[in-house]
Structure 1
Amino acid sequence: MTRILAVLLASTAVVSCGQLNAAPAPFECSAASETECINLWFDTKFEEELAFSPLRQTSLGLKTDYDKIDDLSVEAEQRQLDWWQDTTAEMEANFDYDELSDDAKLSWDMWQFRKDQVEQAADFRNQAYILHQMNGAHSALPSFLISQHRVDSEADMTAFISRISGIGTAIDQLLVRAQSNAAAGTRPPQFSYDAVIAESRKITSGAPFGNGEASALWTASEGHLAKLVEDGTITETRADELREQARTALTQDLQPAYQRVIDWFTEDKENADAEAKGVSELADGAEFYNFRLNQMTTTSLTADEIHEIGLSEVARIRGEMETIKNAVGFDGDLQAFFTFMREDDQFYFSDDDKGAQDYIDAAEEHLAFIKTRLPDYFGILPKAPLEVRRVEPFREQDGAAQHYRPGTPDGSRPGIYYAHLSDMRAMSIPSLEVIAYHEGNPGHHMQLSIAQELTGVPKFRAQGGYIPAFGEGWGLYSEKLAKEMGAYKDPYSDFGRLTTEMWRAIRLVVDTGIHSKGWSEQQSVDYFLANSPIPEAAVKSEVRRYIVMPGQATAYKIGMIKIQELRAEAEQALGDKFDIRGFHDTVLGGGPVPLDLLEKRVDQWVAKMQAG
C-alpha cells in the first residue's frame, strides 16, 4: 500500500495564481504545434499547483517553501478547488483538443479527471473521517518530517524547526475539521478514537516533553545537529541555540496542539459508536460510498457488482489454494490448513528485535533476486534506490499493513518499503516474499519511480499523485508477475502469494459488506478468517482499516483485473508480435491514469504494434 500525501487530505496552501474565477487568461505560445504549446502550459500550471503544497515539494526533492507545512483548512481546500476550475476553463479556452497528439489528448483528459475528482470530493467534506488510525495526518506529519526533510545546512535546520511549529498549526486545523464533521454526525468508531489518542501521546512522550527516552522528533533534531557540527557546518554554540529553538517548537507549539487533540478525542469518544458501522449510516452515506468507490476504482461499478466480483474471486482462489495444500501433502481440509499456516511456529520469525531484523534481511534478499530479472520484463527501469525499513515506533501498530513511500525524481532520497514489526506473529514468513514484491520491485517502487523519472511527459502526469486503482492494481498485478519471473520457489511462499491475492479478493466482499450491506466488524473478521490463513491480529487491523477508509480496499483487485484483461487482449490481438516489455512500458510509461484512460493507452500501443 502506498503512503504518499493522500493522508494529509487535499493538502493546500495559499498561492498567488491571479484572481480566481476570472475570465480565462490567454496563453501566449510561439511553439510550432498545439501539442507543444499545451505541454508548455501544463508545466507552467504544474508549478502553480506545486505551490499549494510545501510538503509535496519536499517529497519531490525540492527545497522551496522548505520551512512551511501545508495549509490543511477547509478554506485552503476551497482555494485549490477554485484553481482547478479556473485552470480547466483556461485550458478549454486556449487549446483545441482535436489538434492535439494522442498523448497530449491523454494529458487533457487527465487534467479534466483531476479537476472532477477535486470537485466531487468537495461535495462530501462533511462525511470524511479527518483523524484516524490509518496513518492519519497526526502521525504522518512527524513521520514525513523525520524521513523526508533533509538537513544539509544551517538553513535546512531552521526550516526543520519551523516545520515542527507548523505541525502544531496543521494539527489545530485538522482538529477544527474533525469537530465540525462530528457536529454534522460524522465520527469514526471508538477504536479509532483510542488509536488517535494513543499515537498522539507517543509522539509527545519522552524528552523534551518529559522524562524517559527521547521522542522521535527530538532524536531527529539531535541527529541533525550532531551531523552539522561533525561536518563543521555550525559550531557547538550555534547547535545549542538551535537545540533550544527546537525544544521550544516542540514543547510550546507542537505538544499543546496534540494535547488539544487528546483532550477533545477523550471527551468526544462517548459520542462515537462502540460498535463500528459502515458509512451508509451517515447522512448521504450511500451517495458518499458510491463516490468513494468511483474515486478508488475509477470505474462506475456499483457496490453490489463489486461484492459479486469479490465472491467469485474468493471461490476461484480457494480452488488454487486447495491445489497447493494437496501438493505439500497436508492431511486435512483447507480450513485446517489455514489454521496450520496461521499457528505453526515454522512460519514466523522470533517475536523480538532479532526477528524483526530477520524479516527485513529476508525481504532484502528476495528483492535482490527479483532485481536481476527485471530487464527481461521491462525496457524502462527505475533509477532510484530502494530501502526496507521498520516503521518508526510512534506510528508502529501490531498487524498493520506494510506500505511504501516514494523517493525523489533525482534519486537523492531512496524509495522506502516500511514494515510494521511490533508483533512478529502478525507477519508470517510465507507472505513475506510477495509483500516485498508488491511494495518494492516490480511493484510500487518500480511504478512510482518510473513515473517520477519520466521525460517527455508533462510533469503533472509523471509526478501528479496517487490513483488507487492504477497504483494498487499494478502492485497486485506485480505479485503474480513475480511468479512468471521465477519467484516463489517454495510452495509455502506460493501459497503466501495466493494468500495476499485472497486478501484483496476478500476486501471486495468485506468493504462492500460493511459499507453497503450492514456487516458488523465481527462478521467481517469471521468471513476473513474463514477464507484465509492471515493471522487474526492482522485481520482485525485490516477490517478496521476498511471501516475508516471506505472503498480504498476495493482498488487493488479491480485494478489488477483490468491490467490482466488488457494484457490478455493485447496478447490475443498481437500474437507473436506481443512484447511483454513493451506492454509493461506502455502501462507504466504514461504515469498513473484512471483505468479507462489506461485502456485507451494500451489500445493505441496495440494499434501501433499491428501497424509495424
Structure 2
Amino acid sequence: MKRNSFPAQLLLILAFLLACSKPAPEVIPDADINAWFDAQYEQLLQMSPLQLTTQGRKDHYGEIDDMSENADDKKLAWMEASVAEMKKTFDYGKLSPEAKVSYELWEYLHEMEKGDVKFRRMNYVFNQMGGIHTQLPNMLINFHKVDSAADMTALISRYNGVGRAINQLLERAKLQTDAGVRPPKFAYEYVIQQSRALISGKPFEDTQINSALWTDALSKIEVLEKDGKITAAQAGEFRNQAETALIDGFKPAYEELIAWLETELPNLEEKPTGISRHENGAALYAHKLKSSTTTSLSADEIHQIGLDEVERIQKEMLAIKEKVGFDGDLPAFFKFVNSDPQFFFPNTDEGRQAYLDQSTAFLDSIKSKLPDYFGILPKADLVVKRVEAFREQPGAPQHYNQGTPDGSRPGTYYVHLSDMNAMPKTTMEGVAYHEGNPGHHMQISIAQELTTVPKFRTQMGFNAYVEGWALYSEALAKEMGGYKNPYYDFGRLVNEIWRAIRLVTDTGLHSKGWTEADAIAYFSENSSIAPGAIQAEVRRYMVIPGQATGYKIGMLKIQELRKMAETELGDKFDIKAFHDTVLGSGALPLEILEKEVKRWVEAEKARS
C-alpha cells in the first residue's frame, strides 16, 4: 500500500512544482494604461474650454465651447477612434482589476455618448433648469477668475463668445422644432424671464442699476487696479472694452433668443404630458433612465420601487408624528409642518442670512465627526452662498458647484432664497448634508483629489452614483449624530420621500401619460413639501426626464451593498473602509460599483 502511494504523492509534488515554475501571466502595469488614458483625456479636455475653466485651468481661456451639432459629431468620432485604439493597444485580460474598471468606464462613456447624439434633437435645448443660457453667464461670474490683465482680456473675449454660442444653440432649438419636438410652454416662459434678467441694467440699459455681469466685470477690473496689476488708464480701457463686448456681442444674441421664444409661445402646450407624447419618446426615455440610473431597470420597475418606498417612509413619518405628540393624521401633520410659522425664517434679508448661517453651523458640526466614518477626507473647502439674482427661482432646489482639483476655488453649496416661505427649516439640515458633507462636496472633492486612477475618473459624474451617495449621506448623518430636533429628522424623511416620489412622478409623466396636474396631485398627497416647491420640482422632471430617478436608485444600491458587506464580514466590517471603497475609485456606474464592493469584501475575507 505504501509502495503504491509514494509515486502518486511524488507525482503530485512534481506537478505542483512544475505549475509553480511556469511564468506568471504578463500583467500590464497600471502606469502604462493610466498614462494612455491621461493623454486621451487631455485631448478630450482640449475640445472644451469651459471644462478646462471648471477644473481651474486657463487653456483657451478666452474661448467658449463650440455648441453646434457638428461639434457633437466630431467628439463622437474621436471617442469611437479612442475606444478602438484602447482595444488594439491593451489586452483586457492582462489588466489589473483597477485598470479594468478604467477600461470599462471608457467604453461606457462612448456608449452613452452614442445614445446622446442619437436623441440630441429630442432634448430640450432651452429649459428653466440650468439651461446653457444661464450656465454660461454663471461660468463667467463664478468660474472665470481674473488674476492678470490677460485674464481680463480673455473674459471680454468670452462675452462675445457667449453670443456666438447662444446663436448656435438657437439654431439647434429651431432644428428641434422642425422635428416636431417642443417643450412645455412654461419652460420658454421661464427662459424668457431669465434671459431678460441677464440683459437688464447697465450697460444694457440706461439705468442706475448694474446687471450681474457688469457688476462682476467692474469688480474684477477694480481688484486688478487695486493690486497694481494694471494702471488706471488700463482699467478705463478694460471697462470700455467690456461694455462694448456686452452690448455688441452678448446682448444681441439674447435679444434674438427672446424674440424667437416669444414667437414660439403660442405653439406650446399649456398642459402637456411627458416626452412619451413625442415620436420615439419611449425610446428616448429608456435611454434617459439607463443614463440616469446606470442600470437596466424599466420604467415600470422604477415606478413600483417608488410606490413601495413611499409606503415604507410614510410609516417612519407616522412614528415621528406620534413621538412629538401631534393629534391628527399624517396629512394634517404635513399641513402643520408646512404652514406653522415656527418652521420658517422671516421672508427678509435677515431671515435669508439666518438660513445661510444655520446651514453653515450644521456643516461645521458634521465635519468634526467625519474622521470616525471615513479614512479618506476632502482637502477642499466648502462655502454656503445664495444663488445669484439672475438665476434664482422661488422654491427651486438647492445645488452644489464643485471646486477646483487644486483647491484654489472651494466647493459651493447654493441656496435659492427669494421666497423664504418655500424654504422650511425642517428640511434645511438634511439638504445641507446632501449638498455639503458628507454628500456632494465630500464625494466630488475626494474624487477630484484621487492620484491612483486616470484623471478622467476624477471628473466623472454618474447621476445615480453622485446623487445616490448624497441621499445616502442624508441618512448617514443621522448615524453621525445629526437631526437632534425630531422635526428636522422628519425633514430628513421629507427629503427621502421626495426622492421616492420622484420615481413615481417621473415615470408617471414620461411613460404613463400623466399630466403636470397628476404629478402635482400625487406629490401633494404624499409629502409635506410646499406647493411652490412641488410645482418647481414637477416642472423640472418634465424638461429633464429621468434625471430625478437616479437619487433613490443610487441610495438603495449603496445601502444594499453596505448591508451585503456587513452580512458577509460580520464583526470584521469596517465602516470607514467601506466608505473609502465606495468613494476611493471616483464616481462609477452602479453595476461597476457593485463589482468593486464585492471585490473589496472578498479581499477583506482573505485578509482576515
Which TM-score band applies after superposition, normalised by the shorter structure? over 0.9
Q: Hey, what's the Cα distance between the residues in 2 that align with 1:76 and 1:52?
A: 9
* Identity among equivalent pairs (%): 55
Match in the other structure for 2:8: none
Is structure 2 residue 337 aligned with structure 1 residue 341? yes
1:248 paired residue among 239, 244, 247: 244
2:298 paired residue among 298, 302, 305: 302
Q: Hey, what's the Cα distance between the residues in 1 that align with 2:216 and 2:79?
A: 37
Mapping of residues 74-473 of structure 1, within 5 Å: 74-212=69-207, 213-463=209-459, 465-473=460-468
Superposition deviation, residue 32 in structure 1: 8.8
Higher deviation after alignment, 207-216 or 440-449: 207-216
Q: Is the 8 A contact 1:34 1:99 kept in 2?
A: no
Q: Hey, what's the Cα distance between the residues in 1 that align with 2:580 and 2:177?
A: 46
Mapping of residues 485-504 of structure 1, within 5 Å: 485-504=480-499
Q: Is the 8 A contact 2:188 2:261 kept in 1?
A: yes
Mapping of residues 553-592 of structure 1, within 5 Å: 553-592=548-587
Q: Hey, what's the Cα distance between the residues in 2 that align with 1:120 and 1:283?
A: 16
Q: Hey, what's the Cα distance between the residues in 1 that align with 2:311 and 2:387?
A: 34
Q: Is the 8 A contact 1:124 1:288 kept in 2?
A: yes
Supply the AA of the counterpart residue of 2:289.
L
Q: Hey, what's the Cα distance between the residues in 2 that align with 1:157 and 1:537?
A: 40
Q: Is the 8 A contact 1:141 1:167 kept in 2?
A: yes
Q: Hey, what's the Cα distance between the residues in 1 that align with 2:243 and 2:72?
A: 31
Q: Is the 8 A contact 2:403 2:411 kept in 1?
A: yes
Match in the other structure for 1:72: 67
Supply the AA of the counterpart residue of 1:439.
E
Query: How many corresponding residue pairs?
Result: 581
Q: Hey, what's the Cα distance between the residues in 2 that align with 1:156 and 1:34?
A: 40
Q: Hey, what's the Cα distance between the residues in 2 that align with 1:279 and 1:468?
A: 20
Q: Hey, what's the Cα distance between the residues in 1 that align with 2:331 and 2:119?
A: 41
Match in the other structure for 2:469: 474
Supply the AA of the counterpart residue of 2:290.
N
Supply the AA of the counterpart residue of 2:381.
P
Q: Is the 8 A contact 1:34 1:95 kept in 2?
A: no
User: Tell me, what secondary structure is at the counterpart of 1:407?
Assistant: coil
Query: Could you list the runs of 5+ residues in structure 2 that have no partner in the other structure?
Result: 1-25
Mapping of residues 26-45 of structure 1, within 5 Å: 33-45=28-40
Superposition deviation, residue 34 in structure 1: 4.3
2:53 paired residue among 58, 64, 68: 58
Q: Is the 8 A contact 2:28 2:96 kept in 1?
A: no
Q: Is the 8 A contact 2:392 2:418 kept in 1?
A: yes
TM-score, normalised on structure 1? 0.94
User: Tell me, what secondary structure is at the counterpart of 2:426?
Assistant: coil
Supply the AA of the counterpart residue of 1:76.
A
Superposition deviation, residue 250 in structure 1: 0.4
Q: Hey, what's the Cα distance between the residues in 2 that align with 1:72 and 1:381?
A: 37
After superposition, the CA RMSD in angstroms is: 0.9
Q: Is the 8 A contact 1:35 1:99 kept in 2?
A: no
Supply the AA of the counterpart residue of 2:107.
Q
Superposition deviation, residue 594 in structure 1: 0.2
Q: Hey, what's the Cα distance between the residues in 1 that align with 2:326 and 2:27?
A: 69
Q: Is the 8 A contact 1:370 1:485 kept in 2?
A: yes
Superposition deviation, residue 462 in structure 1: 1.0
Superposition deviation, residue 35 in structure 1: 3.0
Runs of 4+ in 1 over 6 A off after TM superposition: none
Alpha-carbon deviations, 1:262-290, whole Å to 9, x = none? Answer: 00000011111111221000110011111
Q: Is the 8 A contact 1:399 1:427 kept in 2?
A: yes
Higher deviation after alignment, 32-41 or 353-362: 32-41
Is structure 2 residue 513 aligned with structure 1 residue 518? yes
Alpha-carbon deviations, 1:591-612, whole Å to 9, x = none? Answer: 1110000001101111111011
User: Tell me, what secondary structure is at the counterpart of 2:290?
Assistant: helix
